[in-house]
Amino acid sequence: MRYDTLQVLLWRRALDPHVGRWSLPGGRLRPDEDVETSIRRQLAEKVDIQQLTHVEQLAVFSDPYRVPGPRVVATAFLGLVPWDVDPEVPEDTAWHPVDSLPRTAFDHEAIVLRARDRLRAKLSYTNLGFALAPREFTISALSGLYSAALGYRVSATNLQRVLSRRGLLVPTGCTAPSGKAGGRPAALYSFAHGDMQVTDPFAVFKPPSPKPDKRSRTRAARSDAVT
């Protein structure tokens, strides 16, 4: 999560095939490590990402033609970095908005979009917001994070109600500094747990329904009056 948009870290390939295209960081599995250990090592070594608040296996991509030449099967992971963490990255590496990706190598765009969909789904029925948020946050800031991740505006009031009902928010007793306009300082909260938990297995967050236009409302009123 960077600059109020959901972003993914990509690096520009220096070798063929697909030289110059943007790709997900990755590499080969060493004989002495499991897949998650390999993922964390390569992120730390190649793009200096060492603070991941959540890592989970996403999917196995095994199309025989996904990579030119000898067949390569990829195990993709979803890794999340909090909004307030800004790691230094190499010159050939950059954050890109998920909704406007550059031309990517191989099937990496499909992998990124699969990860986005997984994140959006899990925000509905788990406490995974903890992995995107800083340690302490205002409800307004949290709704901004959820809005960026879900791709539509999330009401701060409704989000607080839902997460509080699930027992996920803990008041810290502190307040954020007042802005330039003054006003009452906003209360700071934290997540109750720092690991992923299923909190409402059947919940689905949905964008707000569009409001009917004036003509539709008039027709509905007339219909109701007739019936």
The residue extents of the domains of the chain are 7-124, 125-191
Residue 222: pLDDT band (50, 70, 90) is: very low
Is the pLDDT score of 136 beyond 90? yes
Query: Residue 51: its pLDDT value, please?
Result: 83
Is the pLDDT score of 219 beyond 60? no
- CATH tag, 125-191: 1.10.10.10
Question: Residues 151-156: what's their mean pLDDT?
Answer: 95
Query: Residue 215: its pLDDT value, please?
Result: 60
Query: Residue 120: its pLDDT value, please?
Result: 97
Which of 24-33, 68-77, 99-108, 214-223 is predicted with the least confidence, judged by mean pLDDT? Answer: 214-223
Q: What are phi and psi of 213, to 5 degrees?
A: -75, 175
- CATH tag, 7-124: 3.90.79.10
Query: Residue 2: its pLDDT value, please?
Result: 53
Indicate the pTM of the whole model. 0.87
Q: What are phi and psi of 163, to 5 degrees?
A: -70, -35
Cα 4 to Cα 148: distance, rounded to the nearest angstrom? 6
On whether the CB atoms of residues 189 and 142 are closer than 8 A, the answer is yes
Query: Residue 220: its pLDDT value, please?
Result: 38
Q: Which residues contact 41 (CB under 8 A, 6 or more apart)?
A: 33
Query: Residue 4: its pLDDT value, please?
Result: 81
The tokens describing 219, both together, are 């027709």
Question: Residues 85-104: what's their mean pLDDT?
Answer: 92
pLDDT more than 70, % of the chain: 89
Question: Is 125-191 the same fold as 7-124?
Answer: no
Residue 158: pLDDT band (50, 70, 90) is: very high
Query: Residue 86: its pLDDT value, please?
Result: 84
Query: Residue 183: its pLDDT value, please?
Result: 73
Q: Which residues contact 201 (CB under 8 A, 6 or more apart)?
A: 125
Nearest C-alpha neighbor of 25 from the set 114, 108, 113: 108
